[in-house]
DNA sequence: ACAAAAGTGTTCCCGCTACACCCATGG
DNA sequence: CCATGGGTGTAGCGGGAACACTTTTGT
């Protein structure tokens, strides 16, 4: 194989699975494509990586273009390169996922031309997606389902202040099974990564629950990891 | 960004971390490069992926060219695409690892021209590698160290028949810590994935140990996975 | 007989599971 | 006062960790 410099122009893409939690449902961000191929189909937000940017920053840029959000930690999880995955040629794609907090800004307008609109799609009514994106989604979903069972990463999806019941619901949705309330609370508090606030829920027609906050410091101490949740 | 068809020719590479276990040491397969850049440096076996092959088959081909081995199950673990990782341009690389049984054929002759020689390098004396291969290696090594603690994947490194002590040594080398003999045996036998043979070690000047074999059937039953160890 | 590794059980502790009732609040 | 979710404890079980001596074999 020749290795002439002009051959060193890789063309490849990034695709992102962006999880959000809203109205008790797990959702992911999809775009409706506005160009061929698969014009009009739903797809994962993703596009070509520029020659001058790293894969990570491309992922961040795409996420920004679809949501207006910046500085979200994304994790690479797999690279898909089947020969026939793109009808126009050989395009490999590096897949990332992110979990974001979607408060207020529920209706997102994409800042790009390649997407007609962006929507939060409940995971349970996922349509068939463009390219091999359905497959990418399944693999990514499996990944976070796995990860959440041994690492407390669900906070990223919740508002800053949340109740234990909200947190539990989120786990139940992701893991797709009922959890025991007492055991869940015991275990979660035993992790010692939550800070109990002097504040309660408001506006509910039943006993208000205590609010909690995720405590980055304690998390870092226990898991001796960088605080990768929100890259600063 | 334009998306003219002639731009749809990705150029990218595959790099492989191939683990072997020999003389009580964990080793990985390195090649000595025979072309620029990094001519003469040690590197992970890897090369460009052809336009007509999938990433997986490219990985297999490369492994074959370096070792003569076929049908080894390789697992993709990360894609590296930092801008400056290749001095001649933007080249992203998809990294795989494999664990192989290296009996008899300790001296491998590469079937390629881009490698001057292939060597089994003990992990503990790893030199600095070409490109960002040292980083790739560290990430891959961490991956298998992680994986081995919750999935019994170490058999692939041992000869077909092995003693429990050999298996334990292998775990100790990978995890880099001493394990308790009784607990190790108890746990390993409890997995119920070993078949005890009617055969003993030979040629040792002490009490001969029983030989065991990895039992694919039982493994598949417990882990309900395909028998991915040796793809047939 | 001695050197070297094979082989073997028990106890303790911790974390997970299962399970049901009273409490606070708003309407 | 009632409906709704908030909040709490305990007992049993199972898996992991710690720990030391006897057996077999070749030299």
Looking at the structure, do residues B73 and B106 belong to the same domain, yes or no? yes
Contact residues, chain B, for A48 at CB < 8 Å: 1, 3
> Is A180 near strand C, with its CB below 7 A from some atom of it?
yes
> Is A210 near strand C, with its CB below 7 A from some atom of it?
no
Residue after which a domain boundary falls, among B131, B148, B165: B148
Q: Using one digit for the tens of pLDDT, what is the confidence trace for B37-53?
A: 999 999 999 999 998 89
From B140, B151, B132, B48, select the one nearest B98 (Cα to Cα).
B140
Q: Give the confidence band of B219 by pLDDT, cuts at 50, 70, 90.
A: confident
Q: What is the CATH number of the domain that holds B165?
A: 1.10.10.10
Looking at the structure, do residues A74 and A181 belong to the same domain, yes or no? no
Structural domain containing residue B71 = 5-148
Looking at the structure, do residues B46 and B106 belong to the same domain, yes or no? yes
Looking at the structure, do residues B143 and B195 belong to the same domain, yes or no? no
Dihedral sign computed on CA atoms, order B189, B195, B200, B202: negative
* Tokens matching residue B65: 């060219």
Question: What secondary structure letter does DSSP report for B232?
Answer: -
Looking at the structure, do residues B127 and B90 belong to the same domain, yes or no? yes
> Is A181 near strand C, with its CB below 7 A from some atom of it?
yes
Q: Using one digit for the tens of pLDDT, what is the confidence trace for B83-96?
A: 999 888 889 999 99
Inside any domain, residue B230: no
* Tokens matching residue A7: 């051959």
Pairing mode, strands B115-122 and B75-80: unpaired
- Centre a 10 Å sphere on the Cβ of residue A29 and count the other Cβ atoms it contains: 24
Q: Using one digit for the tens of pLDDT, what is the confidence trace for B121-171?
A: 999 999 999 999 999 999 999 999 989 888 888 988 999 999 999 999 999
Residue after which a domain boundary falls, among B148, B166, B183: B148
Q: Which pLDDT value is given to residue B4?
A: 42
Number of structural domains in chain B: 2
Residue after which a domain boundary falls, among B148, B177, B205: B148
Q: Give the confidence band of B8 by pLDDT, cuts at 50, 70, 90.
A: low
Report how far residue B173's alpha carbon sits from residue B23's, in angstroms, rounded to the nearest whole number.
Answer: 12
Contact at 8 Å (CB) between A79 and A93?
A: yes
Dihedral sign computed on CA atoms, order B179, B182, B187, B191: positive
The alpha carbon of residue A10 is apart from the nearest alpha carbon of chain B, in Å, by 5
Q: Which pLDDT value is given to residue B227?
A: 40
Q: Which of residues 203-232 of A touch strand D (CB under 7 A)?
A: 205-210
A230 has a chain B CB within 8 A of its CB = no
Beta bridge partners of residue B90, listed in sequence order: A9
- Per-residue confidence in pLDDT tens, chain A, 232 aa: 444 444 556 689 999 999 999 888 999 999 999 998 999 999 999 999 998 899 999 999 988 887 777 778 899 999 999 999 988 888 999 999 999 987 666 557 777 788 888 889 999 999 999 999 999 999 999 999 989 888 888 888 999 999 999 999 999 999 999 999 999 999 999 988 999 999 999 989 999 999 999 998 888 877 654 433 332 2
A150 has a chain B CB within 8 A of its CB = no
Q: What is the CATH number of the domain that holds A59?
A: 3.90.79.10
Query: Mean of the pLDDT values across residues B51-69?
Result: 88
Looking at the structure, do residues A18 and A66 belong to the same domain, yes or no? yes
**Share of residues in chain B with pLDDT > 90 (%):** 62
Q: Give the confidence band of B36 by pLDDT, cuts at 50, 70, 90.
A: confident
Looking at the structure, do residues B82 and B171 belong to the same domain, yes or no? no
């Amino acid at each position: 194989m020749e290795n002439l410099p002009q051959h060193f122009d890789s063309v490849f893409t990034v695709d992102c699975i962006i999880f959000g939690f809203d109205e008790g449902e797990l959702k992911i961000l999809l775009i409706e494509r506005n160009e061929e191929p698969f014009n009009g189909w739903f797809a994962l937000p993703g596009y070509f990586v520029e020659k001058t940017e790293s894969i990570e920053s491309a992922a961040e840029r795409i996420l920004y273009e679809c949501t207006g959000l910046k500085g979200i930690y994304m994790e690479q999880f797999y690279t898909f390169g089947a020969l026939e995955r793109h009808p126009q040629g050989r395009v490999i794609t590096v897949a990332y996922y992110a979990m974001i907090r979607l408060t207020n800004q529920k209706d997102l307008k994409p800042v790009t031309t390649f997407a007609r609109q962006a929507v939060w799609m409940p995971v349970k009514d996922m349509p068939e997606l463009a390219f091999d994106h359905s497959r990418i989604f399944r693999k990514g979903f499996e990944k976070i389902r796995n990860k959440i069972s041994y690492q407390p990463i669900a906070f990223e999806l919740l508002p800053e202040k949340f109740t234990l019941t909200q947190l539990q619901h989120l786990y139940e949705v992701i893991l797709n099974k009922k959890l025991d309330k007492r055991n869940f609370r015991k275990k979660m508090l035993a992790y010692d990564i939550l800070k109990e606030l002097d504040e309660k829920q408001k506006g509910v027609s039943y006993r208000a629950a205590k609010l909690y906050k995720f405590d980055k410091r304690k998390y870092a101490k226990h898991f001796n990891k960088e605080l990768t949740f929100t890259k600063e």
